[in-house]
Structure formats: C-alpha cells, structure tokens
Amino acid sequence: MYINIQIFIYYTKKKKIAPSKNISTRIAPIIQYRYHSKFQLFKATMNFSAASSPPVDTDDIIFEVPGFIRRYRNGRVERLIPDELVPPSLDPATGVQSKDVTINPTTSLSVRLYLPPSATSIPKKLPVLVTIHGGGFYLLRSSSSSYHNYVNSLTAKAGVLAISIDYRLAPENPLPAAYEDCWEALEWVFATDDPWLSNLGDLENVYIAGESAGGNLVHSLGIRLGREGRKVEGLVMVHPLFWGKDRIGDEGVETRKGGILTLEHIDALWPFVCPETTGFDDPRINPVAEGAPSLATLGCRRVLVCVAELDLLRERGRLYYEKLKESDWEGDAEILESENEDHGFFFFNPGSLKAQELTKRIVNFFNKS
C-alpha cells in the first residue's frame, strides 16, 4: 500500500504564502511508504534534494510516520521536523516576560510562565491560562520557537498569566507519561508559592487550552478534575486529536486525502505513542466511545471547541461538541469552525484573517467571565 504525503509545503502551495523561517522546506515534499503488517514495520523510500539529509538505510527503521519521525532498531529516535528551542526572555514585540520553572527534577517536568505587560498596571489579578502544546505527543516543546511565539502573542492579547507545560514526549516516554505530567503541572499551579502566580494570578479564574494532542490532554484534565469534584472556569480544545475505530462523517472520503493529516498517519500514530492502548476506542483517544467517562462529568463551567473545515480531525471535534451538548453537563459549550482551513493553520500562517478570527474568539472566551 503506497500513500503520497505532502509535508508542510502543502500550505505554501495551497495558500501561496512564503515558508516560515522555522520550517525547513528541504524535507522531501513527496514521501512514499509501505506498511508491512507481518512485522508491524514501516519501510520508507524517500526523495531528498541535494541540500537534504543523506540517505538512510531503511532496513534500520522499525517505525516511521513519514516526514515527521523515525525510530530505528537500535532505539534511536529521529524527529524530522526542525525545531528551534529558545530561552525565556522579555519579548520585544509584545512586552511579555517569560521564565522557566522546574516542577519535578526526576522526570524533568517543567513549565514556562508568561507575564503580560499589563500585569503591574491593573488593580485586579490576572486570569490564569494553562496551555498545552500539540505535536502528536511526540513533537514540540514549550520552548519551541513557534509555540513560544504563539504563547507570547496570546498572553499579550488576552491579558492572562500563562503557564505552558513542557511534558515528556513519546516514544521515549510513551503515554500515559504526558497525561501524568500535565496533571502534576496543574496541581503545581494551584499549590505553588511562585510569586508570579501567588501575587498576580487569579486561581478562581483558570483556563486550560491546547491544540491537537494538547487538546486531547485538555480533555483528560477536565475529566480528572470532574472526577475529583473540582472545576476550572473553562477548557479550550483547538483541532483536538480524537479518533476512533469506525470512520465517521467524511473521514474516509477522497477530499480528505490531501491534507496535513491522513488516515494512515493517525492510525499509525496512536499505538506508537501509547503502546499499552486497547485500540482506537480507548477512551483516551476516543472520549465518546462506549465505556468512556461521561462528558457530563467535565470539571469546568465553559468549553470552546475549535475545528477546521479541511482538517481530518474535524468530524471528531464536532462529535465531541455535539455529545457534550447532549449530555447532562450543566456548562456552556461553544464551537468555532474555520472555513477552508486545515489542521494547525494558525501556526503556519498566523497573520491570516482566519487565524486572527480564531485568536479573537479564544481571547474573548477568556475574557467573558
């Protein structure tokens, strides 16, 4: 079975925008792969330009999501998306100040805190935003330049005190490591005596937001909060990574095969990052599966789900919203669909009109209470 996948330059062609300086276009645009069910291996044939990485011996590869990540027989993991890590700083563009705090030295769990320039000029404490990056559970860090810049901008526009969780990544630390890290970080937020949070953060007005895999982690925190009889003000799930055994809506139709994500990508991803999974109806990846914790138990007062029209994950986000509305949950749920956009479009083209509309909706959600 051969599948063609276009990596990132999809957006530069479709939207006619210049590639980001942080995204290498030297990665092969077309990558073909075969899945060998007998050995549960991916064998890859890649076409690289002269400026690209040297050829690899595919016999050494035991797993691959083409264009994203490889795992070799000797245990080495190679992430194929360039990722520039940046230190915390005073951002000259937004005036946002950031710092890193280690929570658990044993697991290297840390958070990056962001303080908006308005922090010392307003009489009341700031809403607190716990934000969780995406990346399929295996890419990105809180210090990744693209995500750091995004949180800087969101912090300034929303006037929130933000905490970005640097959770452990799979496959080196397979799930449930990320779930455990995010819960530990959330507990730290409510218990810490860090001066930024204790002096300037309003812990009665807490939001948790995440994109893609981060949206999945947001849901898990909401369920756990509810199970413990606790609530935060709101949850925001942007293009959340949910899936299931059976196809729904138009997940399998031809028009869904040219986007950022593919059926094969998602089907390969989940067992790779969560080897202990029971399958695609595991409640952690399918929150509306039979036997999953009821959405009525979410520990929050409000929810915003954001989906993109061309995103393969759109149907799952819409279903989550619909099932939440049908449940006995007593909160207020909203949904935003970005027309003619694909998964994570706001990272690839943050200055676009649709990206600005998405950010404005999220900012308004934070400032509604």
On the CB side of 221, CA atoms within 13 Å amount to 34
How confident is the model at residue 253, as a pLDDT?
A: 73
Q: Which of 133, 219, 239, 343 is catalytic?
A: 343
Instruction: Lay out the sheet containing 126-132: strands in order across.
Output: 97-104, 109-115, 161-166, 126-132, 201-211, 232-238, 300-308, 332-338
Kindly report the pTM of this predicted structure. 0.85
How confident is the model at residue 4, as a pLDDT?
A: 30
Show pLDDT as tens, one digit a residue, over the chain (369 residues): 222 333 333 343 444 444 333 333 222 222 223 222 322 322 232 222 223 455 666 669 999 988 889 999 999 999 999 899 999 999 999 999 999 999 999 999 999 999 999 998 888 999 999 999 999 999 999 999 999 999 999 999 999 999 999 999 999 999 999 999 999 999 999 999 999 999 999 999 999 999 999 999 999 999 999 999 999 999 999 999 999 999 999 887 755 556 889 898 899 999 999 999 999 999 999 999 999 999 999 999 999 999 999 999 999 999 999 999 999 999 999 999 999 999 999 998 999 999 999 999 999 999 986
153 is catalytic: no
How confident is the model at residue 46, as a pLDDT?
A: 26
Q: Give the type of residue at 215.
A: G
CATH number of the domain at 97-366, out of 2.40.240.10, 3.90.1150.10, 3.40.50.1820, 3.40.50.300? 3.40.50.1820
CB 134 within 8 A of CB 212: yes
Q: Hey, which residues does 303 pair with through a beta bridge?
A: 235, 333
Q: Which of 212, 239, 338, 342 is catalytic?
A: 212
All structural domains of the chain with their residue ranges: 3-79, 97-366
Q: Which of 91, 282, 311, 342 is catalytic?
A: 311
36 is catalytic: no
How confident is the model at residue 238, as a pLDDT?
A: 99
The CA–CA distances, whole Å, from 91 to 88, 98, 99, 145 equal: 9, 8, 11, 12
49 is catalytic: no
The three-class DSSP label of residue 95 is coil
The DSSP result for 68-90, as a single string, is TEEEETTS-EEE-S---B----B
DSSP state of 365: H
